[in-house]
Structure 1
């Protein structure tokens, strides 16, 4: 079931074009624009974006990578090098001189007042007698080496890790696909149709709003203040039992009748069974013609599974008793 916040996120892409990752100076990564659109009950922005990319609603374009500390989960590890012998980060690239006598050492060991002198054979050196190279020297041990080992340092716990032992996260730029735009229009049409049908029944309706101050947002809120009747509508492709149960429990907590609209024309069998035995209305959005809500839908044993037949609802669309007349 797509939440109002998630729906709001996809809708914003029609104008914004794409969501870019925000990388702070300390290396932490966020999607600030996405976070502002989602509501508290929603998942983290990166998880929501990845979910819609997996479904084909969003396109994910590679931007870069960041690495996360496996010990404290801090993002944005800093690259450094260490001595391959002792693992100390004080591995410093220095100029190294190699004398024909066979002695090799840092350039500072050869420096004298008159030029260069070999500290081993004590011979004054001409430039032709020496070969200068750049190598790494460890300040913690006597080791000298050509190539240091790579490490990533955590700025919080200061631990050092080989890159392959850290957690790699790939940053993407997210944009709406053609299929995603069509999906959005279909969901939007279902939401607007539900609101229009309720308005025809003299309900005052609001789209993407909260039922009571401080409660979670709903796709459609409909109220008949004179009759003391309230209904909330959830738009979902293929309603699942777990999310419908949570929605129905929320509806009961705010003294509202729950209405679930399937935009795929299919619901889980458990949802259909619940609609028959409890105060829950399930309808399907039929986009043919001008679009309408119908009390007929198919059932499936699992989301994405094989459809097992047409389930006929006996009640008319949204024709449920008001709270005042329920037994």
Structure 2
């Protein structure tokens, strides 16, 4: 089922260029526009975007990468270097003098009151007896070295992670594809058509309504009420209604004393859904395009066994009349 939040999300891209990631100063990655448009029940925004990209509704374009802490899953690790001996960050690049006696240390160690002297052999320094280089000196242990080791530092749990042990995460921006535009137009047309049909039957309707039972609040595509007759219906727009989603939707409808209506935009439902609709507890309608709803639809054993999304969209324009 495409949730009201998901439909809201995809519809926004008909006017907005793209959803782009934002990286906060602390390294956290978010898609604030996506989070704002989705409902809590829709789950992780990135998972929703990736799911629609996999279906061809959205296109994804690589933006950058972030690294995730393997200890606490915090995003945006900070690069640093450490001493290869004790792994302290307090290893600073400095000027190092190496005397012919073999002793090497920071330049400050050779500074004496009357000139420069080796702190190890106590010989006065001669230019030809000293090599000067830029090296790293650890302030937590005696180590002096040319190349520090790379680490990624976690701001949350303070772990020091070798780069190859961190979890790499690619960031993408998401745009609406031409096929995605056709898809969202079809879902919106089905939503508009069923809303108008209910209004013709004197129902007061609310699109993208929030409905609350004793335990939860959720968004529904359409809430329809007949105050005079005490009749209430909620509508779910679905490409190919599956048994699990319909079971959950019917349970929620029952909890608020409403009749569930499911609209298939592909003209196809799972066999278990069709069997359920044979009774009085569920209404299933097929959107045939051109603002037409029909009680006739096809059935499949599993929604996942159908052909590709956009092939289904094309096929839905000419669905055979009658149930199989």
Q: TM-score when scaled to structure 1?
A: 0.86
Does the aligned pair in 2 maintain the 1:299–1:310 contact within 8 Å?
no
| Alpha-carbon distance between aligned partners in 2 of 1:130 and 1:300, rounded to the nearest angstrom | 84
| Among candidates 234, 237, 245, match of residue 235 of structure 1 | 237
Question: Deviation string for 1:77-116 (max 9, x for gaps)?
Answer: 2222122222222222221123344433222222334553
- How far is the alpha carbon of 1:121 from its aligned partner? 4.3
| Alpha-carbon distance between aligned partners in 2 of 1:197 and 1:209, rounded to the nearest angstrom | 17
Does the aligned pair in 1 maintain the 2:262–2:284 contact within 8 Å?
yes
| Alpha-carbon distance between aligned partners in 2 of 1:306 and 1:5, rounded to the nearest angstrom | 25
Q: Partner of 2:273 in structure 1?
A: 271
| Alpha-carbon distance between aligned partners in 2 of 1:162 and 1:311, rounded to the nearest angstrom | 62
| Alpha-carbon distance between aligned partners in 2 of 1:25 and 1:201, rounded to the nearest angstrom | 54
Asked whether 1:70 is paired with 2:80, we answer: no
- How far is the alpha carbon of 1:57 from its aligned partner? 1.3
Q: Partner of 1:245 in structure 2?
A: 247
Query: Higher mean Cα deviation, 257-266 or 12-21?
Result: 12-21
| Among candidates 304, 307, 312, match of residue 322 of structure 2 | 312
SS at the partner of 1:216?
strand
Distance 1:111 1:303, change over 3 A: farther
Gaps of 5+ in 1: 315-327
SS at the partner of 1:26?
coil
Q: Partner of 2:194 in structure 1?
A: 194
Asked whether 1:46 is paired with 2:56, we answer: no
Q: Partner of 1:13 in structure 2?
A: 13
| Alpha-carbon distance between aligned partners in 2 of 1:306 and 1:10, rounded to the nearest angstrom | 23
The 5 A counterparts of 1:99-138 are 99-113=99-113, 115-138=115-138
Q: Partner of 1:177 in structure 2?
A: 177
Distance 1:111 1:39, change over 3 A: same
- How far is the alpha carbon of 1:247 from its aligned partner? 0.6
Q: Partner of 1:159 in structure 2?
A: 159
| Alpha-carbon distance between aligned partners in 1 of 2:230 and 2:155, rounded to the nearest angstrom | 58
Query: Higher mean Cα deviation, 62-71 or 186-195?
Result: 62-71
Does the aligned pair in 2 maintain the 1:299–1:311 contact within 8 Å?
no
| Count of paired positions | 311
Gaps of 5+ in 2: 308-318
| Alpha-carbon distance between aligned partners in 2 of 1:210 and 1:155, rounded to the nearest angstrom | 38
- How far is the alpha carbon of 1:258 from its aligned partner? 0.7
| Among candidates 241, 261, 264, match of residue 262 of structure 1 | 264
Query: C-alpha root-mean-square deviation of aligned residues, in Å?
Result: 2.4
| Alpha-carbon distance between aligned partners in 1 of 2:47 and 2:150, rounded to the nearest angstrom | 30
Query: Higher mean Cα deviation, 244-253 or 112-121?
Result: 112-121
Does the aligned pair in 1 maintain the 2:94–2:136 contact within 8 Å?
yes
Distance 1:197 1:132, change over 3 A: same
| Among candidates 223, 226, 241, match of residue 224 of structure 1 | 226
Q: Partner of 2:292 in structure 1?
A: 292
- How far is the alpha carbon of 1:279 from its aligned partner? 0.9
Question: Deviation string for 1:187-214 (max 9, x for gaps)?
Answer: 1111111111222222222211124597
| Alpha-carbon distance between aligned partners in 2 of 1:128 and 1:188, rounded to the nearest angstrom | 83
Does the aligned pair in 1 maintain the 2:298–2:323 contact within 8 Å?
no
| Alpha-carbon distance between aligned partners in 2 of 1:128 and 1:156, rounded to the nearest angstrom | 50
Distance 1:136 1:200, change over 3 A: same
Query: Higher mean Cα deviation, 106-115 or 255-264?
Result: 106-115
- How far is the alpha carbon of 1:313 from its aligned partner? 5.3
- How far is the alpha carbon of 1:129 from its aligned partner? 4.3
| Alpha-carbon distance between aligned partners in 2 of 1:101 and 1:176, rounded to the nearest angstrom | 70
Does the aligned pair in 2 maintain the 1:58–1:174 contact within 8 Å?
yes
